[in-house]
Structure formats: C-alpha cells, structure tokens
Structure 1
Amino acid sequence: MSELLRVEHVTAGYGDSVVLEDISFSLQEGGSLALLGRNGVGKTSLIVSLMGLTRLHRGSIHWRGKDLLRLDTHERAHAGLGWVPQERYMFPSLTVEEHLTVVARPGEWTLKKVYEIFPRLEERRSNMGNQLSGGEQQMLAIARALMVNPSLLLLDEPMEGLAPIIVQELVRVIRKLIATSGMAVIVVEQHARLALSMTERAIVLDRGRIVHDSDSASLMNDAEGLNRLVAVA
C-alpha cells in the first residue's frame, strides 16, 4: 500500500502563536487514524493545518509525494482532501440536494450512492440546510465531503452533541467507509474508545506535540495508558 500523506516536523499556529510543535506522522492509502487528546491540545489545529488554514512556521506536508503547502485550501480539496469541520457550515439558502450537487466532482460518490448510506437525506432532499436537526446536518456535512470524492476524509468531532441513536448510525457509516471504500480517514474525537474502535492506528496529542503513536487496538486494551493520555476510564 502506497503512502498518501506525510507530515514532517510541522510547527504551526495562528499568526505568531504556535499551537503545534514538531508534528510528524504518515498515512497510507486507505488507512485510518484516530487523533486523540484532551481539549485544547491541537487536534483541530492539526486538521485545519492539513487544509492550509494555519500559519506553518516549520516543516513540510507531502501528498502522494508532492508538496501540499503550495496549494490553497480549495486546491487541496480538488487534490483529494475532504474536510468535515466541527461547525458543519450549513447554508440556509440551499436545499439538502443543492448542498451536495454544488460541490460534486466526478467519481464513485454520486447522489444515488450518498442517499443509499444516508436515506434520511433523500427524504429531506428539498429541505433547507437550516431546517435539519443536528444529526441530519452532520449526515449532510459528511455526505457533502464525500461528493468531492476525496482520497482522505478528515472528520473533526463528528459525534459532538448528537443523540446516541444518531451516533450509532454515524459510527456504522464511518466503519463501512473505512472497511470498504478504499478511502483514508482521520477521525478527531473526544470519545476515545469510540474512535479507537473504528480505526487502525491512533495518535495522541498533548500541548501540541505527539506523545503517543500506536495501533488502535493496543491503546484500546491499555486502560491505564488510555486514562493517563486522554483522561478516560
């Protein structure tokens, strides 16, 4: 399996403020990674750095062996990075279907296929984005990212604030994407065990640095270590 993403010695932040320090990791085509850590340690900053929305002080990011730093955010999306931000960013003037078709790019993911994994969105295809529940908005945010036909899907706190039944549905979808789509996935998630149960590998951040890097199963089975790293039982 070939390398998709390589981050080397990245130090980045906002303006002169440094949030991430000396971050290095790689991800293979079709790989899955849980990005864990307590609040405020830099998880979201790492995701938005991949999308080009922070200031890079040092280091490099390579995408399929090419320098990603030369690309603007929209060019990174076209190159194959699909981003689902915490905020979801629904447009009140667009219907569900318009949210999906306006970003669509040629590839495996079509309206038909997205509606197959999110039938609730097909039922509400004529509703405006602001007429959806929080869970439906999160489904739409993920579906919209899939319509870009990405090679890497970046999920930033996809379960935040959702009812347990919706969480179960999204977990099912994400597991299916990881298992069958051939697409790589990075999941930022406060529910560490949930993220570990979906992914092959895990990185833990603390104060903007990587303090742990292992396979997800090993960390899941190390209750003491997991509690120490991310303060969960």
Structure 2
Amino acid sequence: MSELLALDKVTAGYGDSIVLEDVSFSMKEGDSLALLGRNGVGKTSLLVTLMGLTRLHSGSIRWCGGDIVRVPTYRRAHAGLGWVPQERYMFPSLTVEEHLTVVARGGEWDLPKIYKIFPRLEERRNNMGNQLSGGEQQMLAIARALMVSPRILLLDEPMEGLAPIIVQELLRVIRGLVKDMGMSVIVVEQHARMALSLTQRAIVLDRGRIVHDSDSASLLADGEKLDRLVAVA
C-alpha cells in the first residue's frame, strides 16, 4: 500500500518554544498507531502539528506524497485529515444533526451510516450540542470527523473523563473502524493498554522526542517496559 503520511525530522512548537524535536515516522493506508507518553511530552502537539496549528521550525510533513507544510488547516481537513480534538468543540446553537450535515462532504459517510454506529445520536438528533452528556458529545465529535470522509482519524484522548459504559461503546466503534473497515487512525490516550489493544503500532514520546517505536502487541505484552515508558496503566 502507498504511503499516506510521513514526518521527517519534524521540530515544531508554539512561537519560539520547541515542543517536538526531530520526530520521524510514516504510515500507510490502513495503519493504526497508538501515540503514548506521560503528560506534557508532546502527544497533543503532534496532532496539532499535523493539522498545521503549530510553528514548524524544521523538517517536512508529507500527505499522500505531497508536502503540506504550507497547507492551511481547512485544506488539510478537506484532503482527509479527520481531527477529533480533546476539547470536542460543540456548537451550542447547532443540533446534533446540524453538527453533522454542516461538515458533510459526501463519500463513504452519511447520516444513516453514522446513526447505525451511534444510535444514541439519532435519538438526540434534535438536541443542541450543549444539551448532550460528555459521552454523547464525544460520540458527536467522532461522528462529525467521520462526516468529512477522512483517510486518517486523529483521536486526542477520546476516553477522557467518560463513564465505563461509554468507554466500552466508543472502544467498540473505534475497533470496528480500525479492524473491520481498515481506517487509518492515530490514537492519543493516557490509558496505554487500551490504546495498544486498538492499534497495530506504538510510538512513545518523551520530552518531544520518539523514545520507543514497536508493534503494539509486543509492547502490550511487556508490562514492565510499558510501565517504565509511560508510567500509567
């Protein structure tokens, strides 16, 4: 399969402050990646950099073979980068269905398909974004990203602060996207074992640098190494 995404010696941050340093990795269509590490090591900044929202000091980012360093965020989204930010960004003046239709771009995903994997959103389709529970907002954030028919889904802490029953529901959906539909994903998640169970490959960041790169299964099987690298269960 052809290369989908490639970072080569990326150093990036906010203004003059450097958060990521010399980061290199690549992904092909259908690859799934767990992005792990302690708090504050640059995981979210890496996703934000992929969306063009940090300052790139050096290095290159290629998408489907083309350089996207100077491509604005909205064009990256149109090109197939589907971002689900940690903050979710619900619009209080839009209903659930309006959140979905306003970003729809045609292609593989439409309302019936979204409602099939998230039946709760169909039940709440006339509710405003700020009338949803935290779990429902997270479902909507993922569904909204899917409605742009992304080629890769960037998930930033999708399970944070959610009830166990909602976590299980989201795990089912993400696992289905990855394993049944072959969608490319990058998952940033503090619950390392959960992220590893969803993905094929794992990268661990420390102080903005990649300190570990392996298949997810081998890291999941080595509990001592995992705990040493990420210090979380």
TM-score by length of 1: 0.99
Q: For residues 45-103 of structure 1, what are the alpha-carbon distances to aligned partners after superposition, in whole Å with 9 as ceiling and x for unaligned? A: 00000000000000000001100112100000000000000000000000000000000
Task: Please give the residue correspondences for 1:138-149 in structure 2 after superposition, counting only pairs within 5 Å.
Answer: 138-149=138-149
The alignment partner of 1:108 has SS state of: coil
**Contact 2:105 2:149 (C-alpha < 8 Å) held by counterparts:** yes
User: What is residue 104 of structure 1 aligned with on the other side?
Assistant: 104
Q: For residues 192-220 of structure 1, what are the alpha-carbon distances to aligned partners after superposition, in whole Å with 9 as ceiling and x for unaligned? A: 00000000000000000000000000000
User: What is residue 41 of structure 1 aligned with on the other side?
Assistant: 41
CA distance in 1, matches of 2:165, 2:180: 23
User: What is residue 24 of structure 2 aligned with on the other side?
Assistant: 24
The alignment partner of 2:144 has SS state of: helix
User: What is residue 208 of structure 2 aligned with on the other side?
Assistant: 208
CA distance in 1, matches of 2:61, 2:39: 24
User: What is residue 151 of structure 1 aligned with on the other side?
Assistant: 151
Task: Please give the residue correspondences for 1:68-83 in structure 2 after superposition, counting only pairs within 5 Å.
Answer: 68-83=68-83
Note the aligned Cα RMSD (angstroms).
Answer: 0.6
Gaps of 5+ in 2: none
Q: 1:183 offset after TM fit, Å?
A: 1.9
Task: Please give the residue correspondences for 1:84-99 in structure 2 after superposition, counting only pairs within 5 Å.
Answer: 84-99=84-99
The alignment partner of 1:70 has SS state of: coil
The alignment partner of 2:109 has SS state of: coil
1:59 aligns with 2:39: no
CA distance in 2, matches of 1:232, 1:14: 27
**Contact 2:30 2:182 (C-alpha < 8 Å) held by counterparts:** yes
User: What is residue 232 of structure 1 aligned with on the other side?
Assistant: 232
TM-score by length of 2: 0.99
1:199 aligns with 2:175: no
* More divergent stretch after superposition (178-187 vs 26-35): 178-187
User: What is residue 190 of structure 1 aligned with on the other side?
Assistant: 190
Q: For residues 15-54 of structure 1, what are the alpha-carbon distances to aligned partners after superposition, in whole Å with 9 as ceiling and x for unaligned? A: 0000000000001101100000000000000000000000
CA distance in 2, matches of 1:182, 1:160: 24
Identity among equivalent positions (%) equals 81
Q: 1:180 offset after TM fit, Å?
A: 2.2
**Contact 2:190 2:232 (C-alpha < 8 Å) held by counterparts:** no
Q: 1:106 offset after TM fit, Å?
A: 1.2
Alignment size in residue pairs: 233
CA distance in 1, matches of 2:69, 2:156: 21
CA distance in 1, matches of 2:2, 2:179: 17
List 4+ stretches of structure 1 deviating above 4 A: none
1:113 aligns with 2:110: no
1:10 aligns with 2:13: no
CA distance in 1, matches of 2:183, 2:198: 14
Q: 1:134 offset after TM fit, Å?
A: 0.1
User: What is residue 162 of structure 1 aligned with on the other side?
Assistant: 162
Q: For residues 100-121 of structure 1, what are the alpha-carbon distances to aligned partners after superposition, in whole Å with 9 as ceiling and x for unaligned? A: 0000011010000000000000
